[in-house]
């Protein structure tokens, strides 16, 4: 990661663990073997991330690329596919906003105990 990435993260790289991997699908598989829930964000998923009970467990949020979303293989390997409920006229969020909302929900669940 270069200086531009570090600056754009506004200090988050100093406090959040980041892992660089060659294959997201393989990383998801390894996380599953380590008893970490993997939750993939997918605008078309029927289940909402809000109120998802497993968020108080070890969890990795998996976000797809802009426009394309998660790859087929990653979608098949994650523990759960969930969506972020949207207003009917809005198709989807960009990846960074979706990731921020998902991480906020994990923090909210862990802080409130619900």
Domain boundaries along the sequence of the chain: 22-112
Q: Is it the case that residue 28 has pLDDT exceeding 60? A: yes
3-state secondary structure 8-77: HCCCHHHCCCCCCCCCHHHHHHHHHHCCCEEEEECCCCCCECCCCHHHHCCEEEECCECCCECCHHHHHH
pLDDT single digits (tens) 47-106: 999 988 888 899 999 998 888 889 999 999 999 999 998 876 667 788 888 999 999 999
Amino acid 81: pLDDT: 96
Please tell me the predicted confidence (pLDDT) of residue 2. Answer: 63
CATH topology of domain 22-112: Alpha/beta knot (3.40.1280)
- Residue 102's nearest CA partner among 34, 25, 43 is 43
Q: Is the pTM of this model over 0.85?
A: no
């Amino acid at each position: 990661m270069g200086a531009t990435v570090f600056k754009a993260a506004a200090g988050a790289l100093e406090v959040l663990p980041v892992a660089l991997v060659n294959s997201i699908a393989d990383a998801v598989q390894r996380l599953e073997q380590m008893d970490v829930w993997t939750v993939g964000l997918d605008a078309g998923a029927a289940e909402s991330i809000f109120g998802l009970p497993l968020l108080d467990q070890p969890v990795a949020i998996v976000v797809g690329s802009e426009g394309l979303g998660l790859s087929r293989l990653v979608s098949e390997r994650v523990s759960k596919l969930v969506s972020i409920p949207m207003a009917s006229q809005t198709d989807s969020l960009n990846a960074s906003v979706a990731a921020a909302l998902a991480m906020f929900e994990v923090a909210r669940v862990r802080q409130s105990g619900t």
